[in-house]
Amino acid sequence: MAQALLKTVTEPVYPLRPAAKHKVLSVRGLGKAWTPQQRVLDEINFDLHAGELVAVIGRSGAGKSTLLHMLNGTIAASEGAIVNYRDGSEHQDVTRLSRGEMRQWRSECGMIFQDFCLVPRLDVLTNVLLGRLSQTSTLKSFFKIFADSDRARAIELLQWMNILPQALQRAENLSGGQMQRVAICRALMQQPNILLADEPVASLDPKNTRRIMAALQQVSEQGISVMVNLHSIELVHNWCTRVIGIQQGRIIYDGAPSGLTEALLQRLYGDEINQIDH
């Protein structure tokens, strides 16, 4: 009994919903050109399903971050559609949302940015609660008035990520690994259906890398579709259920990590192949 209790304390489980495998997003003919001469993504087509942990790989400048930002609506698409699903049916095209609809979409599609985007002078708990912003009135969020249920969820998430002891510490005083964990909690505050993470383990040590990847895996196993930009093929093999490889703005591989052959990696990374873990 005591041992079982200890297990629940030391290995908290991400508190969410039961797992599911339905389609949550369909990307069709998506493209991005910064200028007519500078195309970064072309004819991108894929579906995302609940419960997947999908890696996006490709050399630096391939368009990985641009793709994630387009899904989240922070970068506008040049052409194509990003269709989200609700209750198993097509709901809306994310590329054509009004400002209000876009706020709602961002709460359904959480994002962890490469530089964490925490508010340095605010404490950890408030940073996590700010994840509720899109569902909190402007006035309430200005005065940082949050519902007790939100506080309870924020604390639950911080405990799950083993960072509750730092809850009242300013975000600026955290280590990189701790900041990343707080950023995950903040993104999960709104109970998104999709979680996007742009290089969430860049510059983390192996222990923190494992911690973050394990957290993302748990989140995906709870029925969220997780998409993550990675620079390590080893991590793709160890943690991901699927991998999308982008070369010169096009998808050249979409499938199981086990299907990533040396020839494919050569095509994906070219001369950079020796700079990645594989």
Ligand X SMILES: Nc1ncnc2c1ncn2[C@@H]1O[C@H](COP(=O)(O)OP(=O)(O)OP(=O)(O)O)[C@@H](O)[C@H]1O
User: What's the CA gap between 212 and 153, in Å, rounded?
Assistant: 19
Cβ–Cβ under 8 Å, residues 66 and 55 = no
| Minimum distance of Mg ion from residue 123's CB (angstroms) | 29
What distances in angstroms separate CA 185 from CA 43, 71, 190, 274, one per listed residue? 33, 20, 10, 34
Q: Which is nearer to ligand X, 129 or 244 (CB)?
A: 244
DSSP 101-140: HHHHHHHHEEEE-TT----TTSBHHHHHHGGGGGGS-HHH
How many residues bind ligand X (CB under 6 A)? The answer is 10
Residues 6+ apart with CB under 8 A from 22: 49, 50, 85, 88
Q: Considering the rule CB under 6 A, would residue 65 count as an interface residue with ligand X?
A: yes
Estimate to the nearest angstrom the gap between the alpha carbon of 167 and the chain centroid.
22
Q: Which is nearer to Mg ion, 64 or 132 (CB)?
A: 64
Sole window of 63-71, 95-103, 125-133, 145-153 interacting with Mg ion (rule: CB under 5 A): 63-71
Out of 53, 55, 64, 268, point to the residue binding ligand X (CB under 6 A): 64
| Minimum distance of Mg ion from residue 229's CB (angstroms) | 6
Sole window of 14-22, 57-65, 117-125, 180-188 interacting with ligand X (rule: CB under 6 A): 57-65
Q: Which is nearer to ligand X, 177 or 245 (CB)?
A: 245
Q: Considering the rule CB under 6 A, would residue 61 count as an interface residue with ligand X?
A: yes
Tokens of 276: 């990645």
Out of 50, 52, 65, 128, point to the residue binding Mg ion (CB under 5 A): 65
Q: Scan residues 14-43 and list those touching ligand X (CB under 6 A).
A: 34, 40
